[in-house]
């Protein structure tokens, strides 16, 4: 499993896909942070997308006990997905693909009204659906392509 070891390596040039970022041991347990890199992701949809992906994976009986957290990447061009254990990035294809299918079909942003969330102005459902639809199509077309799992640079 290729790990992106250095933040200065030019992550903005990493092509879309599912990559192992780093593996750490916390309280004797291995956790792995994966980058879910999405091309041309609008910053207005990344906040909602994070919530939908997080909820989808927590709702997956095969993954909910492995899930640790989901965070927005610093450059807002994807998500960091932290799970227990150390798996090949390819093993995350199904839960990530399914989560983005949910985002593609999402109709509203429940709980994201200004009185519920300081980031509500960033919750753009239509753009989130558009970005998710493009990423779902990309993942579907490249599912067997090893390049989407190995962090190649442009």
Q: What's the per-residue H, E or C state across 45-58?
A: HHHHHHHHHHHHHH
Tens of pLDDT, residues 75-125? 888 999 999 999 999 999 999 999 998 877 765 544 444 454 545 555 577
Tens of pLDDT, residues 128-149? 888 989 999 999 999 999 999 9
Helical pair 93-105 and 125-142, crossing angle rounded to 10 deg: 150
Give me the CATH code for the 7-142 domain, please.
3.30.1360.80
pLDDT at 125: 78
- The model's pTM is 0.80
Question: In this model, does residue 69 exceed pLDDT 90?
Answer: yes
> In 3D, which of 144, 100, 142, 149 has the Cα closest to residue 1?
149
């Amino acid at each position: 499993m290729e790990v992106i070891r250095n933040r200065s390596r030019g992550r903005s040039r990493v092509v879309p896909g599912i990559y192992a970022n780093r593996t750490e041991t916390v309280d004797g347990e291995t956790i792995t942070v994966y980058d879910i890199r999405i091309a041309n992701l609008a910053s207005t949809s990344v906040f909602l997308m994070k919530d939908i992906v997080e909820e989808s994976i927590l709702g997956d009986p095969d993954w909910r006990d492995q899930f640790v957290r989901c965070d927005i990447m610093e450059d807002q061009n994807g998500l960091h997905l932290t799970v227990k254990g150390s798996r090949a990035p390819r093993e995350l294809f199904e839960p990530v693909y399914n989560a983005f299918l949910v985002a593609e079909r999402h109709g509203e942003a429940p709980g994201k009204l200004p009185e519920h969330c300081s980031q509500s102005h960033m919750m753009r459902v239509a753009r989130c659906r558009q970005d998710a639809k493009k990423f779902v199509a990309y993942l579907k077309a490249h599912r067997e392509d090893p390049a989407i799992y190995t962090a190649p640079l442009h």
